[in-house]
Structure 1
Amino acid sequence: MNPLDIKAQLLARAYASCKSGQVAFIDESYVIPKHAGTVSFYYAAAYVAPKSMHATIRQDLIDLVGGTYWHSTEAHRVEDRRPIIHDLCAYVGQGDDSEYVLLAVRSPIAEDDMDGESARALCLNALLGALHSRGVSLAVVEERRHVKQRNRDESIVRDLRRAGEIGGMQVHFTTPSIEPLLWVPDVVAFAKSQDTRGNAFGYIEGCAHKLFMLEVDPPEKQQPPAAEA
């Protein structure tokens, strides 16, 4: 059995054991300080959609992009592919009332956070905690390329679980080649990042009303809990 088949089986098991009707799909977009110019940010986007609609949405996404591969940054570099980004954002905007995107934002990224890993951790902490509080019991997250990065993400989840911040919510890492629904947070985070950087492509306009922002402060700016009376 090849690695992709194994990943597909593991994802199927995660879906089978999902205890709620809603599933979140998570991806990112960022500009780290050394590449920022005038603005740096980290966006972690979670697209929430009911399990009952997943099959339909998957097929719609594949039809829109004309195949089984998608990456928003790559598509944007090809002028003829840019209309597809608009189409995808419009599709998200036309979704059912039960569908939405929660976007955790850390901006600016601290100057000493050279690779943006601290900003990612802050955003994932806030995002996963918010999803748990909204009754989401499964978060499907795009698996990152390098082992060191994947280990960091697993550590974030373990720390959240030990702290009781996400209860029994499953956090499953996989690839968009297995789950096209990960294309949605990819394209929405990309569209929002283009808007933030002042690029006038207007991608985000098609789904801006589906976007809920979650501003994330660094630990030193977060308010301590109120003292008990």
Structure 2
Amino acid sequence: MNPPFSAYVDESMLLTQGLYLMAAVFVGPIHADACRHDLRALLLRRQKRLHWRDENDKRRAQLIEAVAALRPTGIVVVGAGLDPKRQERARRKCMEHLLWEMGGHHVHDVIFERRHSELDLRDHELVAVLQGRHSMPPKLRLSWRDPLTEPLLWLPDIIAGALSRAERGDCRFWSQVNADLLVRRIDAR
């Protein structure tokens, strides 16, 4: 049997379309270091991290080609009905659904991109509630890391960015990576 995966999680929002996207990319322990190396090799001079929204379309094409070569697997939760004034509510709903989905996959560690202490605390509080309600797999170990020190967090950023573009009608990036990614649509109101 294969060792369990780690899931690396990041989000994207399309405020004009009322969508909150939360992507989880699964990485096996035997592939993690090679993936980190490949992702770091994509950095431009003086660039500290890869971030989809900071790149132009030419660069996005390079990034998506490199990510497609890694054959990413995972889950993207698309929460519809996002109220821009209630972004944290949409995040909680997407996070709850995503963590529940992890139960059907061989995932033990879930690594979220760190935001800032107050917002991360809200995530921790949600996890405590979900654990108390038995609404997430008990085997999951969750942590929050800085994308400057964990390149694997760049994967869900790129995946969420590509799907975000597809949701706006530009499927050229998403079509290269969507084969092994499950997309779940939920009501995030």
The equivalent of 1:158 in structure 2 is 128
Structure 1 counterpart of 2:103, from 132, 150, 163: 132
Measured after TM superposition, the shift of residue 177 of structure 1 is: 0.8
- Structure 1 counterpart of 2:154, one-letter code: W
Correspondence 1:204-215 to 2 at 5 A: 204-215=174-185
The equivalent of 1:83 in structure 2 is 58
C-alpha distance in 1, partners of 2:65/2:178?
A: 9
The equivalent of 1:225 in structure 2 is none
Give the direction of change, closer, same or farther, for the CA distance of 1:108–1:216 in structure 2 (3 Å limit): same
The equivalent of 1:106 in structure 2 is 79
Larger Rg: 1
Give the direction of change, closer, same or farther, for the CA distance of 1:218–1:188 in structure 2 (3 Å limit): closer
Q: What SS class does the counterpart of residue 133 from structure 1 fall into?
A: coil
- Structure 2 counterpart of 1:58, one-letter code: R
C-alpha distance in 2, partners of 1:201/1:129?
A: 28
Correspondence 1:165-180 to 2 at 5 A: 165-180=136-151
Measured after TM superposition, the shift of residue 170 of structure 1 is: 0.5
String of CA shifts for 1:38-67, please: whole Å, max 9, x gaps.
Answer: x21000000001010011011111112335
Contact 1:31–1:40 under 8 Å retained in 2: yes
Contact 1:93–1:210 under 8 Å retained in 2: no
Matched residue count: 185
Gaps of 5+ in 2: none
Give the direction of change, closer, same or farther, for the CA distance of 1:119–1:193 in structure 2 (3 Å limit): same
Q: What SS class does the counterpart of residue 55 from structure 1 fall into?
A: helix
Q: What SS class does the counterpart of residue 202 from structure 1 fall into?
A: coil
Q: TM-score, normalised by structure 2?
A: 0.88
1:69 and 2:53 matched: no
C-alpha distance in 2, partners of 1:181/1:52?
A: 13
Contact 1:93–1:209 under 8 Å retained in 2: no
Kindly, what percent of the aligned residue pairs are identical?
23
CA-based RMSD of the aligned residues comes to 2.1
Which fold has the larger relative contact order, with Cα–Cα distance below 8 Å and residues 6 or more apart in sequence?
A: 2
C-alpha distance in 1, partners of 2:105/2:53?
A: 30
Contact 1:64–1:84 under 8 Å retained in 2: no
Give the direction of change, closer, same or farther, for the CA distance of 1:133–1:154 in structure 2 (3 Å limit): same
The equivalent of 1:24 in structure 2 is 7
Contact 2:8–2:152 under 8 Å retained in 1: yes
Gaps of 5+ in 1: 1-19, 77-81, 220-229
String of CA shifts for 1:2-55, please: whole Å, max 9, x gaps.
Answer: xxxxxxxxxxxxxxxxxx4311000000123xxx1xx21000000001010011
The equivalent of 1:3 in structure 2 is none
C-alpha distance in 2, partners of 1:195/1:135?
A: 28
C-alpha distance in 1, partners of 2:54/2:181?
A: 23
Q: Which has the higher strand share?
A: 2
Measured after TM superposition, the shift of residue 218 of structure 1 is: 4.9
Structure 2 counterpart of 1:55, from 23, 26, 33: 33
